Amino acid sequence: MNNQYDALGYYDVLDVATDADISLIKRKYYEKAKTLHPDHNAAAQAVDIFQKLSVAYEILSNPLKRAEYDLLSIVYTAADFPQIGSLKIYKNQADKDDKALRVLKQHTVNASFKETKVKASKDICNIREAGNMVLSTSIHNWLCGWWGKGALRQNLEAIRYNLQSTSVHDADNLRLLIHNAVAYIQENNKEMAWIYAQQVKSLWGYNPHISALTEQFIALLDYTPSRQVVIPYWNAAELKRRQLLFPIFLGMFLLALICAYLYRSGVIGIKQEESYYYTGTAADTLESKVIKTGSDSSSREYLVHFTEDAEIRYGPDERYGVMHTAKQNQTVRITGYMPNRKWYQVVIDSGERGYVHKDKLQKGMGAQVPPNSQVYR
């Protein structure tokens, strides 16, 4: 009889199927025990077979032990099957009990000019620990994985593998969850056993065999939570984002360096609207920015007049205070202008200098200037 989920051959030695009921298992055991008992069978392998038959009956005749064996047979083979009854509980990186453990698989690339090595790792951790680990591996691979022969290809493959391996729907994680479910019940910790079994059911409920065995195991636990228990969720999307944090940061940093270089070299420029609103030493600062006309009071070339009543300000911005209110047609002389040519520096009759917006001025003399005016003589 070929039973797929019978890692140690307990069902086979009893010559029953994995879904055999307890009465059939008992009957088969007594039938075979009569013929295989060393007192009645002198064959060389009779003792070994009888011992295996006895162990098989001990396990399969106990509903909970049978459920444990059936679950472990899904994820273990005869070569690596653990010792039932003395299972070691998998814990987190801090060696503490944790209900949200998973297997994190990563490839780490170490590249030099001589050779490139890829190290595969499997770590049991919770989601917080996994987040730190994937970020650390990502930084390492992006900084140290490009400097050897063939490193580019291997590092790209490692990055792709690490992104894909954030999923926990694989054989390694099924083994972890089943193993801990059984290990915790053997430690008489029904709550943790129940939580791990529920995670198996949640992730592999689509598989009829796994689902049926898990439900049977949960029923045999005979455990009802006294409080609401949140089934752990493994956020694979968050792990993917963490793996991309460093390359995004690195790309932005390199882009900033390139832009800075191009700006310094004059390839690109940033056009800015100049602002001339100053305080404190504003007058000296403004004078240094004024483009002088070189006009004097004996020339009519730079004479202008106001098209309407307007305010002459202490600086080339409406935020500056008003120095003088000019009347329509009042004549003034332009002594300079700002680089944007929106504001002009003018001198009034008293000799004071202020700033006027270009929209208020018209070329040419308007009203006659009074005697002793500093505008025109």
pLDDT, tens only, 239-289: 989 888 888 888 899 999 998 888 887 676 555 444 444 443 455 677 778
- Which class for 140: exposed (0-12), middle (13-18), buried (19 or more C-beta within 10 A)? middle
pLDDT value of residue 6:
92
Q: How many CA atoms are closer than 13 Å to the CA of 140, on its beta-carbon side?
A: 17
Strand partners for 361: 306
The pLDDT assigned to 269 comes to 59
CATH of domain 283-363: 2.30.30.40
Question: What angle separates helix 208-221 from helix 171-186, to the nearest 10 degrees?
Answer: 20
331-337 and 343-347 beta bridge pairing: antiparallel
pLDDT, position 192:
94
Q: Of 133, 204, 196, give the one whose Cα is nearest residue 165.
A: 133
Does position 75 have pLDDT exceeding 70, yes or no?
A: yes
Amino acid at the residue 326: A
pLDDT of residue 227: 81
Best-predicted range by mean pLDDT (37-46, 61-70, 137-146): 61-70
Read off the pLDDT of each residue in 178-203 and give the average, rounded to a whole number.
94
Which tens digit of pLDDT belongs to each residue from 228-246?
A: 888 888 888 889 898 888 8
Model confidence at 117, in pLDDT bands (50, 70, 90)?
Answer: confident
The whole-model pTM stands at: 0.66
Domain ranges of the chain: 10-69, 171-221, 283-363
The answer to whether the Cα torsion of 75, 221, 58, 207 is positive or negative is negative
Query: What pLDDT is stored for residue 57 in this prediction?
Result: 94
Strand partners, 344: 337, 356
What does pLDDT average to over the chain? 87
Mean pLDDT computed over 116-134: 92
Q: Which one of 29-38, 225-234, 281-290, 364-373 scores highest in mean pLDDT?
A: 364-373
Fold identical between 10-69 and 283-363?
Answer: no
The domain 10-69 having CATH identifier 3.40.50.300: the answer here is no
pLDDT of residue 181: 96
